[in-house]
Amino acid sequence: MSDYYCYLFNQKDPEYALNRLLHNDLFKSLVKEEHEQLAIAVYTVSGNEGALKSALYEQSILHEFDYCLLPKNRSYGPFKLAVFDMDSTLIPIEVIDELAKQAGVGEEVSEITEAAMRGELDFNQSLEQRVQQLKGLSVDAIKTVKRQLEFNPGVEAFCRYFIQQSGKIAIASGGFMPFAEELARRLPFSQLRANRLIYADGALTGEVEYPIVNADVKTKSLLEWASVAGLKEQQCIAVGDGANDLKMLQQAGIGVAYKAKPTLGKSADCVLNVGYLDSLVNLLPLIEQRHRV
């Protein structure tokens, strides 16, 4: 049994009542803490981390709230590096699915993408299977999909806030480099790591360069960038939505699951199912205050 701070909030309704959670047997030890950030309720709770996270995830879906569960005795911050997955995290689409639509194989590729995000398929094999479906697709399709790119709500506001706090933002994606580079033209991402498609005669060959950016590569990227910046893991945030992000989120000081699949949501430190990434603007200073060394 360990003690945790449990941060509960609903960005869309700051006065949302979370009393329902108190009737759940697992949370009978919840004790509300006093603090100045009225939009976020802070509780202390004791229990098994895995059981608490799983129950919080289920309750958050049922009662529509977001949360963060962190050990009371662990220090966090000051946060200086935020590493993001790209597809369905920074942007609302899966780029490979959009390319597949251009190639006329949208349904087939989308099914593989969903299975991979749920953790049912090996990521490397699933990526290779999907890219093979794109063989012969004109490179003009990449330009078409680039024009469709837009950030998810709250991404730009959070990134600008984080940079104002002297933090750096980075992308570690199982998606593709041309799209990560396009996003870096819109926001100052300091580091990019994503897969590279292979072209020949103005068309995709159906192959991808190695090494594939999978869960291990994402994690190593976060550690590498943190080391270069002289940061400890408690100063790093990782944000993702699929099973391929799990290791990266576990390695970071705080792992944030954004509109995530259950595999990730039940394991993450922070889960955003209701609000957007800019809800972290109020949350992070409160975490730094509560968990200061």
DSSP-derived 3-state class of residue 240:
strand
In whole angstroms, give the CA distance from residue 18 to residue 118: 29
Residue 126 parent element (H or E): helix 123-132
Which residues are catalytically annotated? 85, 87
Closest to 210 (Cα-Cα) out of 121, 124, 130: 124
Contact present, 173 and 123 (Cβ < 8 Å): no
In whole angstroms, give the CA distance from residue 126 to residue 122: 6
Two tokens, residue 223? 């550690």
DSSP-derived 3-state class of residue 85:
coil
Give buried/exposed letters for 253-282 (b at 16+ CB in 10 A, else e).
bbbbbbbbbebbbbbbbbbbbbbbbbbbbb
Closest to 158 (Cα-Cα) out of 8, 67, 258, 253: 258
In whole angstroms, give the CA distance from residue 280 to residue 18: 19
In whole angstroms, give the CA distance from residue 171 to residue 187: 11
